[in-house]
A = this chain, B = another copy of it.
Amino acid sequence: MPSKPAAKTVAPKSASTGHNLARLTDLYRMMVRIRAFEETALEAHKTGEIPGPLHVSIGQEGVATGVCANLSREDRITSNHRGHGHALAKGAESGRMFLELFGREGGYCGGKGGSLHIADFSVGMLGANGVVSGGIPIAVGAAQGLKMLKSKAIAVCFFGDGAINRGPFLEGLNWAALYKLPVLFVCEDNGVAAFTATATVTAGPGVLARAESLGVAGMSVDGNNVIAVDAAAAQLVAEVRAGAGPRLLHAKTYRWTGHTSTDVAAWRDPKDVAAGKATCPIARLKATLVERGATDADAIVAQAATEMAQGRAAAKAAPWPQPSTAFDDVQDVGAVRFG
C-alpha cells in the first residue's frame, strides 16, 4: 500500500496568497463564535444552568474552523468528547446546542445527550462521543458507506492526541487505507489527555509515523494558525475527495482550560499555560485582519457575544422535555413505556 505523499509539515501560506479578506473574516467569525459559545457555556455550568460534565475546547478553535471551512453540508464528521467547536464549525445552530446542553426541549437530542453527545445529523455532524476513539470506526464506516453509495461526500474524523493509544486508531487507519476510503483523520494534539501529558504515555516518533506505517499519508500543521489549517485541510480534503484514499492531519494546538469545566489543571506549569495562551488562534488572525485593513473584528466579537447570550437566555427560559419522552426513541419493536 503506497502511502505517498510522505508526511510533511505544511508552511502556513501567507495571508495574502489564496485567502481573500472575506474568507479570513468567515474563519474569524467562526472561531469567535466557538469561543463565545464555550465561554458562555462555562459560565452557565458554574451557575448550575448546565448539568453534567462539560468539556470545552477554548484555544483549539482554529482546528475545527480551518478543517470544516473545507467541507460541504453533505460531508460527515465524527467528534469526540470535546465537540462544541466541531458542531458549530459544521453548521449546527448555537441556540439548539444551548438547549441541548441545558437539557431542554428542542435541544438537538431532545435533552437525552447533553454536551457529551451533541450532534446534528442534518448538517452531517454524526455526534460527539463519550468514548475516546469511539468516533474512529464510525467515521471509517461512514466513508465506506458513502463510497458504496457513490456519494461525492467524504467523512472527517476528529480525535485528540490521547486517542492514538487505543486500538481503534490502528484498526481504523489500516481499514481506511485498505479500502481507499474517503476519510480525513484529524488529530487535535493539545499535548494532554485528561490529567496526563500525552508525551509521557505515547511511544515512538508520533502520530504521523503511525499513520504512515498504516498506509495513511499525513501532514503536520500549526493548529493555532487557522490560515495554515485551512490551507492544509484544503489540500488533504481535495486529495481525499479525488479518491486518493484516507489522509491524516496532525494539528498542534493548546487547550486553555482543564479537562472538564471543573478541572483547574493545577498540575500544568503556569509558564506553559501562558505560552500556550500566547498562541491564541483568534488573536493571531485578528492581527492579520487588522493588518489587512479589516474594521469589523470587534463587531464580530460583539455579535457573537449577543448570539450566545441570547442562546443562553432562551435555553434557560425553555421548558424541560416532557418526562414521558424518556421512553421515546429506544427501539420500535420491543419498546417499553413504563418501568
Contact = CB atoms under 8 A, between A and B. Distances in A.
Interface of A: 1, 3, 165-171, 173-175, 177-178, 201-205, 209-210, 212-216
A80 to B, nearest CB: 17
Contact of A214 (B166, B175, B204, B216): B204
B209 A203 contact: no
Say whether chain A's binding surface is mostly helix, strand, loop, or mixed.
helix
A212 B204 CA distance: 7
Contacts of A167: 166-171
Contacts of A177: 203-204
Question: What 9 A-B pairs come out closest when comparing CB atoms?
Answer: A167-B167, A203-B215, A177-B203, A170-B170, A204-B215, A213-B213, A1-B203, A209-B213, A210-B213
A1 B200 CA distance: 10
Nearest to A210: B213
A204 B165 CA distance: 18
Given A1-B205, A3-B205, A210-B213, 17 more contacts: A165-B171, A166-B171, A167-B170, A167-B171, A169-B170, A170-B210, A173-B203, A174-B202, A174-B203, A174-B204, A177-B204, A178-B203, A203-B216, A204-B215, A204-B216, A210-B210, A213-B213
A177 to B, nearest CB: 3
A210 B204 CA distance: 10
Contact of A202 (B169, B178, B202, B209): B178
A174 B205 CA distance: 11
Residue picked from A170, A171, A175, most chain B C-beta under 10 Å: A170
A205 B7 CA distance: 14
Nearest to A133: B167
A130 to B, nearest CB: 18
Nearest to A178: B203
Nearest to A209: B213
Contacts of A205: 1, 3, 212-213, 215
Contacts of A170: 165-167, 169-170, 210
A311 to B, nearest CB: 39
A224 to B, nearest CB: 25
A15 to B, nearest CB: 35
Contacts of A216: 203-204
Contacts of A173: 203
A201 B171 CA distance: 11
Contacts of A201: 178
Given A210-B213, A213-B209, A213-B210, A204 B168 contact: no
Contacts of A171: 165-167
Contacts of A165: 170-171, 174
